[in-house]
Structure 1
Amino acid sequence: MGKIVERVTATDAALELIDRLRARHGPLMFHQSGGCCDGSSPMCYPQGEFRIGGSDVKLGEIGGCPFYMNQSQFEYWQHTQLIIDVVPGRGGMFSLEGPEGVRFHTRSRIYTDEEWAVLEKQPVQIGAE
């Protein structure tokens, strides 16, 4: 099998927060908000609490947790790698990290030409598993 390029990664701080939240809430999942109630923050939910629809794309996993984004938003962001980090402040009102005094934050970078060549051959999963 060839090289795998990750569409979503997480910083050490985000991975540590995921571990704390998982210890408290059990298995988790993420969905990149599209800008409705909670802006464009990555939202953390107990696994299965957020319903994945037929138009959601699974970008990968962070800290062993699946990470999804709406397909129309993915079309716009597909050329960038999402890097999930943690910053001080109040998170989305529906996201589990809210009471922690920090929030998940999405950073991004554009893929290199070499990475994009690999990604074009990597299928994405659309809809729930």
Structure 2
Amino acid sequence: MVPMRFGIVGCGEIAVRTAEGISQAENAEVAMVMDVNEALARDLAERYNVPYTTQLEDVLSSEQVDAVYIATPHNLHAPQAIQCAEAGKHVIVEKPMALNCEEAKAMIDACERCGVALSVCFTMRYLPYIQRAKELVQNEV
């Protein structure tokens, strides 16, 4: 199986943890990282021996990137996700997806129009205690 190659946009703490998860997956790999803070981008890039940039356009034009994980300030989620879709990149975006329903709809429409997947991170659902709570609710305990 060919792994999904991720560009990480935004290299703060949540992205560092997500990059670790991507790197541990059998079907995914970190391919490139981007942050407007060059030091953050360089640090994360060195951990995974991948190129880094301070420009989103570099990630979007890279043939080594299939999908983009967006972990930037909330007000950038919608415009960046739309740019990713228009560049033919699948999109995973951190919560909140957007600042309002109109932005969220524009993101969905762009991804559908461009034929790429859009997903919002909800990793808590996989934590053991959350799974146990779900099981208890389903079994009406």
Same fold (TM over 0.5): no
**TM-score where L is the length of structure 2:** 0.26
- The answer to which structure has the higher strand fraction is 1
Q: Higher relative contact order by CA 8 Å / sep ≥ 6: 1 or 2?
A: 1
Bigger proportion of residues as helix:
2
> What is the TM-score of this pair, normalised by structure 1?
0.28
